[in-house]
Amino acid sequence: MTRGRHHGGCMRVQRSWTTGVLVGAIALATGGWLINQSGAASGGESRRLLDEIHRLISARFVDEIPPEELYRMAIDGMLENLGDPYTTFLEPRDSEDLRLTTTGNYGGLGVRIDVKDGWITVVQVLPSSPALREGLEVGDRIIEVEGESAEGWSVDKAVDTLRGEKGAPVNITIARVGVDRPLAIRIVRDVIQVAQAQGFVLDGDIGYVTLRGFSREAKEELVATLDRLVDEGAGGLILDLRRNPGGLLPAGIDVTDLFLERGTPVVETRSRLDEQNYLFRASSEDRYADVPIVVVVDGLSASASEIVAGALQDHDRAVVVGTTTFGKGSVQTLYGLSGNNSMKVTTARWYTPAGRSITRDFDRESALRDLAASAVAISGEPIAAATELEDREEFTTAGGRTVYGGGGITPDLIVYRDTLSTEEQELRRLATRSGAIPRNVVFRWAVEYSNEHDFNEGFSVTQAMREEVWTALAEAGAEVERELFDQSQTYVDWLIADELAGAEFGEVPQLRSRAVRDAQIKVAMDLLREADSPEALLTVAARAAEEQGAEGTRSDEPAGDR
């Protein structure tokens, strides 16, 4: 979670939060003052020694190393030895990426792109975007930009080239399925606002909303989405925070504020700096007081996502379902440096209203190893490794329920996504090794199929579709036996349904298609069907947890393929 400036105050100041402009460069003079003050106090001799070593290596080392590289080595070594993966040096490109993440907008065309079969390919056209106005479609391959071939481009190179100032035109040439000749298109860039919240009603009266991140616009978009769902008849809400990496601290507080009564503690930050010790409280009334809420999380729900889940769990305001979250319980402050560089520094840790620190004790590499070794969801994405509850500190919610500190937020009800069978994992492995990744092949097939057929959102995957996909895989050179393909029908059907929904109907129908096939969302819906109030939901969830415990699956571990 990122903070962009310090705020005056004293230990345990209790105050409401008003979102402001929090991410940006601290004045260079201020950053320099902080560095100089520290050096004057205790680092003069050490700094001279560092300069001596720098000069000696520059002049005498067997290989010539540019002075700027030596300084960067020193920076990297200093940060690595802190043992904190979240304190990082950001070069100008990284700083711009962070700005886009926290503001949610940029100057560009309004498309999501990916590399498909060696070409930059449009996988989504955003609503009300320049790309939509000029007629770009899902599946279009960008083959030239300003007369330069785009063959072999990476996503990063394409993003750098296609983004730009509002009002600046860019000329691209595309290849489109079903069109014999390339199409030249001139698009004028505009400010693109990436939607943080998307939602719809499931099963007539259950509202579903997914929140992608916590930018400055997150609360406003979430309110608009939730209000619409309630107006459409939603009597219960599912807040999907899976794969949400977090974002701005105040955005996390603002989102939590929507579901708690005025004055209720949301989160506390603790630091060795007095000005960063705060107890943040809700500043308004619970906007959805009578609505039962299920929060769905997974191992990639982090930071601000964990603030929301932890606060609502501690106050018994929502039931948390899914798998244990990532475990990032720290706050970073962004400081501006010379040369348009910047630095994120961990300046505080945060604690839930019950006093829990949820920080997981692991480094970045071990986290990636854990993910690689864990179960694989039907989407093909890894499920976070298990978290043992036995050694974790216990805390009590406002209503007396037991919750756990350390190692992320443990859900009230552990529910795994449907995982790939052994055969389905083998299908993915073989096809990837042979150079024909199933997802890319199915994407291209889906674009062609949607151009040639009419079907509605409620379509079912047919045997004829499976046969066409098998043919496409074979033509792409996938070294896959037909028997293995047939034994992997659940995974194949998921891919077909997902890609067809995205190609034909767009993002929201694709999300709906995923939701109705999602084991965790199905459990959330089952809980809400039995509860007509937040209090009733807690009772229903407690009963489900007891039944789960009786079956021996309470520990946060996969119970085999599902």
- Chosen domain end from 389, 414, 439: 414
Q: Note whether 312 and 379 are same-domain residues.
A: yes
Q: At 442, is the pLDDT very low, low, confident or very high (cuts 50, 70, 90)?
A: confident
| Rounded (10°) CA dihedral 197, 201, 205, 210 | -30
Nearest Cα to Cα of residue 409 among 255, 518, 299, 316: 299
Could you report the per-residue pLDDT of 495-533, keeping only the tens digit for each?
Answer: 899 999 988 888 889 999 999 889 999 999 999 999 999
Give the pLDDT of residue 557: 37
User: Which of 126-140, 192-206, 417-431, 447-461 is the least confident region?
Assistant: 417-431
Q: For the residues 54-83, what does the mean pLDDT come to?
A: 93
Q: For the residues 88-110, what does the mean pLDDT come to?
A: 80
Residue 435, pLDDT > 80, answer no
Q: Note whether 341 and 363 are same-domain residues.
A: yes
- Chosen domain end from 165, 193, 221: 193
- Other beta carbons within 10 angstroms of residue 271's beta carbon come to 18
Q: Which ranges of 26-178 does DSSP label H, i.e. alpha helix? A: 28-38, 44-60, 67-80, 92-103, 130-133, 155-162
Considering only residues 30 and 521, tell me which one the structure prediction assigns the higher pLDDT.
521
3-state secondary structure of 158: helix
Nearest Cα to Cα of residue 53 among 67, 37, 39, 41: 67
- Other beta carbons within 10 angstroms of residue 300's beta carbon come to 19
Output the domain CATH number for residue 365. 3.90.226.10
Could you report the per-residue pLDDT of 364-421, keeping only the tens digit for each?
Answer: 545 544 544 444 555 555 554 445 566 789 999 999 999 999 889 999 999 987 777 8
Q: For the residues 163-171, what does the mean pLDDT come to?
A: 92
Q: And the tokens for 255?
A: 């989102």
Residue 58 in any domain: the answer is no
Nearest Cα to Cα of residue 460 among 500, 509, 424, 420: 500
Residue 554 in any domain: the answer is no
Both ends of the chain: CA-CA distance in Å?
A: 34
Give the pLDDT of residue 11: 31
The one catalytic residue in 116, 219, 328, 344 is: 328
Considering only residues 252 and 103, tell me which one the structure prediction assigns the higher pLDDT.
252
Instruction: Please tell me the total number of residues recorded for the chain in this structure.
Output: 562
Give the pLDDT of residue 94: 79
Q: Parallel, antiparallel, or unpaired: how do β-strands 342-351 and 330-336 relate?
A: antiparallel
Residue 65 in any domain: the answer is no
Q: For the residues 190-214, what does the mean pLDDT come to?
A: 93
The C-alpha atoms of residue 271 and residue 257 are separated, in whole angstroms, by 23
The answer to whether the CB of 407 falls within 8 A of the CB of 360 is yes
Q: Note whether 344 and 385 are same-domain residues.
A: yes
3-state secondary structure of 133: helix
The C-alpha atoms of residue 190 and residue 185 are separated, in whole angstroms, by 15
Helix then strand then coil, in percent of the chain rounded to 5, is 40, 20, 40
β-sheet bridge partners, residue 113: 122
Q: Note whether 360 and 460 are same-domain residues.
A: no
Q: Note whether 401 and 262 are same-domain residues.
A: yes
Could you report the per-residue pLDDT of 79-97, keeping only the tens digit for each?
Answer: 999 999 999 999 887 777 7
Residue 555 in any domain: the answer is no
Q: Note whether 364 and 229 are same-domain residues.
A: yes
Residue 512 in any domain: the answer is yes
Q: Active-site residue 166, yes or no?
A: no
Q: For the residues 207-216, what does the mean pLDDT come to?
A: 95
- Cβ-proximal residues to 51 (8 Å cutoff; 6+ apart), any chain: none
The answer to whether the CB of 539 falls within 8 A of the CB of 399 is no
Residue 1 in any domain: the answer is no
Considering only residues 93 and 175, tell me which one the structure prediction assigns the higher pLDDT.
175
Q: Note whether 375 and 442 are same-domain residues.
A: no
The C-alpha atoms of residue 171 and residue 184 are separated, in whole angstroms, by 7
| % of the chain at pLDDT higher than 70 | 82
Q: For the residues 266-279, what does the mean pLDDT come to?
A: 94
The one catalytic residue in 95, 129, 301, 303 is: 303
Residue 159 in any domain: the answer is yes
Strand order in the sheet with 236-240: 197-202, 206-211, 236-240, 293-297, 319-322, 413-414
Residue 68 in any domain: the answer is no
Q: Note whether 371 and 431 are same-domain residues.
A: no
Give the pLDDT of residue 187: 96
Angle (CA) 389-393-396 rounded to 5° is 105
Q: Domain total for the chain?
A: 3
Give the CA distances from residue 220 to residues 19, 174, 232, 265, in Å, rounded to whole numbers and listed in that order.
11, 36, 19, 21
Give the pLDDT of residue 347: 95
Q: Note whether 462 and 404 are same-domain residues.
A: no
Could you report the per-residue pLDDT of 313-324, keeping only the tens digit for each?
Answer: 999 999 999 999
- Helices 438-452, 489-505: axis angle to 10 degrees equals 50
Q: Note whether 431 and 340 are same-domain residues.
A: no
Q: Which domain holds residue 455?
A: 422-517
Give the pLDDT of residue 212: 93
Q: And the tokens for 196?
A: 């943080």
- Chosen domain end from 386, 414, 442: 414
Q: Active-site residue 328, yes or no?
A: yes
DSSP structure string for 346-410: EEEEEE-TT---------HHHHHHHHHHS-BBTTSPBPPPPB-STTSPEEE-TTS-EEE-SSSPP
User: Which of 4-13, 25-34, 306-315, 478-487 is the least confident region?
Assistant: 25-34
Burial class (CB in 10 A: 0-12, 13-18, 19+), 85: middle
Considering only residues 94 and 467, tell me which one the structure prediction assigns the higher pLDDT.
467
The one catalytic residue in 314, 412, 498, 556 is: 314
The answer to whether the CB of 126 falls within 8 A of the CB of 194 is yes
Angle (CA) 401-402-404 rounded to 5° is 140
Give the pLDDT of residue 425: 78
Q: Note whether 354 and 472 are same-domain residues.
A: no
Give the pLDDT of residue 377: 56
Q: Active-site residue 303, yes or no?
A: yes
Residue 561, pLDDT > 50, answer no
Output the domain CATH number for residue 148. 2.30.42.10
Residue 468, pLDDT > 70, answer yes
Q: And the tokens for 31?
A: 């950053």
Could you report the per-residue pLDDT of 296-308, keeping only the tens digit for each?
Answer: 999 999 999 999 9
* 505-513 contacts at long range (C-beta below 8 A, 24 or more positions apart): 505/457, 506/124, 506/125, 506/138, 507/124, 507/198, 508/198, 508/200, 509/457, 511/198, 511/200, 511/210, 512/200, 512/202, 512/457, 513/457
Residue 336, pLDDT > 80, answer yes
Q: Parallel, antiparallel, or unpaired: how do β-strands 119-125 and 141-145 relate?
A: antiparallel
Average pLDDT, the chain: 84
Q: Residue type at 226?
A: L
Give the pLDDT of residue 362: 60
Give the pLDDT of residue 464: 96
Q: Within a 13 Å sphere around the CA of 557, how many CA atoms are in the beta-carbon half?
A: 9
The answer to whether the CB of 248 falls within 8 A of the CB of 215 is yes
Q: Note whether 387 and 450 are same-domain residues.
A: no
The C-alpha atoms of residue 165 and residue 267 are separated, in whole angstroms, by 38
